[in-house]
Amino acid sequence: MGDSPGESPPPEKKLKSSSQPSLTPILNQSLSSSEIQVINVYTAQIRSKKDANNLLKLLTPLPPDLDHLKRIRSTKSSDSLEILIGHDDPVVPEDDDNPILGLLVPSSIQKAPVPKFRPLTSFQSKKSNEYWPCNFHPDKDVEKLVSQNCGFSVEEMESITNNVETVMTRFTQMKLQSCAVYDPNDKELVCIANSTSSLLKHSVMNCLEMLADTQKKADEETACDRKYDSGEIVCKRIVRNKHSDYLCTGMDIFLSHEPCLMCAMALLHSRARRIYFVNDNLKNGGLSSVVKLHCLEGINHRFQVFKVTQ
């Protein structure tokens, strides 16, 4: 497996306590792409601005693959309007009485590039509008992720920095991949673990085992005091989320390395809230390097994933 329980490669970059890491959200390609794909369609200049409404009545509606585009735009001089006609050439030689042609400037009819897809971020919207204005309704959650510090507050960034330093310090000391579970509601680490010699005892699996032990005896006043070879339960309380039967509901996971596909699937089934990892797992990474599990269609839970660099 990619998250080998044996020795791990050295970290790409060691985080320093005096510096704040930067975060890169791991998103679906459609969200992270800065390239605007275009398609050629027919456009034309409207003979008179007052003819715009009549043209809209005469022209057939745009097909579904173009409905993300606005129908009319101002020309660069703003003295006239330009209309998007569609895939078909409005000029029909045998139909000289076509009323549409009488409302257009014949010499201006041309094929022009327009965005092929609806923009999904403000950045994509700005780039798309350089070709042709698009209908765009920003998604607040997506806009937050692509903003500075992914929209996290100063306090949240400090917490992220501390938790990353904790797992990286353990990785440096143990020479084994490390994982920690953080409870953002109580603002404390729940447990931390490293991989061990067993084939399936990756750091994530060991940490989830500890987290499960803190939730087994929810009627008691103290958390499990069992001893572990791979790590320890840090908190001294019962962590059970009374609003969910899932193990990691509301929990954030911090990793020295991108989890393998097995561990990524375990985190998905456990309903983790956010995943942060420092080093890529190029051979078997389940969240970025090989596959973006959280971006696949058909999965029954989605969490946010961040690559941490400095």
Give the residue-averaged pLDDT of 115-130.
95
Going by pLDDT thresholds of 50, 70 and 90, the confidence category of residue 234 is: confident
| Amino acid at site 178 | S
C-alpha pair distances (Å), 70 with each of 83, 128, 261: 9, 12, 42
pLDDT recorded at residue 17: 44
Determine whether domain 22-27+146-309 maps to CATH 3.40.140.10: yes
Lowest mean pLDDT among 84-93, 212-221, 270-279: 212-221
CB 168 within 8 A of CB 160: no
Q: Is the pLDDT of residue 246 over 70?
A: yes
Tell me the percentage of the chain whose pLDDT exceeds 70.
86
Domain boundaries, the chain: 22-27+146-309, 38-139
Give the residue-averaged pLDDT of 56-73.
94
Q: What is the pLDDT of residues 87-97, one digit of tens each?
A: 988 776 556 67
Q: Is the pLDDT of residue 3 over 90?
A: no
Going by pLDDT thresholds of 50, 70 and 90, the confidence category of residue 222 is: low
Q: Give the integer Cα–Cα distance in Å for 266 and 45.
A: 57
Q: What is the pLDDT of residues 69-78, one digit of tens each?
A: 999 999 877 7
Mean pLDDT of the chain: 87
Give the residue-averaged pLDDT of 140-162.
93
Give the residue-averaged pLDDT of 246-270.
95
pLDDT recorded at residue 215: 78
Give the residue-averaged pLDDT of 219-234.
75
pLDDT recorded at residue 218: 52
Q: Give the integer Cα–Cα distance in Å for 240 and 218.
A: 6
Give the residue-averaged pLDDT of 271-291.
96
pLDDT recorded at residue 197: 85
pLDDT recorded at residue 213: 84
